[in-house]
Chain A
Amino acid sequence: DTAVSQTPKYLVTQMGNDKSIKCEQNLGHDTMYWYKQDSKKFLKIMFSYNNKELIINETVPNRFSPKSPDKAHLNLHINSLELGDSAVYFCASSLLATDTQYFGPGTRLTVL
């Protein structure tokens, strides 16, 4: 059973479009996260939700909007996609807000 899953695995889209990436965890964890890994391989946290409430919101353009319908899901919606949004996006989860995090397989977003 996949612990943290993301869909889609690959996403290719045009500039200006709106897209969503879905994340689900079946670990019963309370906290979920979105990370971005750019072309230089640096991995940076974007958002963190604990029990559907936002607890970390790094300096991310407001075109990015996370949505947590329940504590097992944290989706990432991106409006008006730009070239610089091209990256690999990782979802993760942890039990409570601790630092032992379990990551999903990633979604490679390419904006043309």
Chain B
Amino acid sequence: DAKTTQPTSMDCAEGRAANLPCNHSTISGNEYVYWYRQIHSQGPQYIIHGLKNNETNEMASLIITEDRKSSTLILPHATLRDTAVYYCIVSEGTSGSRLTFGEGTQLTVNP
């Protein structure tokens, strides 16, 4: 799997949008971008994934640049419960699920 680079930590005010960046400059054409998060002491939670096009679901939006070398996860209205470590992962999607979790970004939502 290609390596990803994320900021170690970010802060966001409650009710504002949280924009979490991820660089994946060595991503290959058949690799997806996945986002998971881990709230303290809980199991990781799937958020969203995409290949080329931007994606949106009930949790978040995923914006992938045209060259696919970077992406941004957007939480449109962050709440205190969104405080977590967010992981950006690139994977083939049908690779047998060899997800490689990096260090992620610690997002802290402040009141």
A45 touches B44 (CB 8 A): no
A55 at the B interface (CB under 8 A): yes
Measured between beta carbons, the chain A residues less than 8 angstroms from B97 are 31, 33, 45, 48, 56, 94, 97-99, 101
Q: How many angstroms between the C-alpha atoms of A60 and B13 in the bound complex?
A: 42
Q: Mark A33-44, 1 if CB is under 8 A from B, else 0.
A: 100000001111
A109, chain B: closest CB distance, angstroms = 14
Question: Interface size on A (CB < 8 Å)?
Answer: 26
Q: How many angstroms between the C-alpha atoms of A4 and B41 in the bound complex?
A: 16
Residue positions of A touching B, CB distance < 8 A: 4, 31, 33, 41-45, 48, 50, 55-56, 90, 92, 94, 96-106
Q: List 15 A-B contacts (CB under 8 A).
A: A43-B101, A45-B98, A56-B96, A90-B43, A96-B94, A97-B94, A97-B96, A99-B89, A99-B92, A99-B97, A100-B34, A100-B46, A101-B97, A103-B43, A103-B44
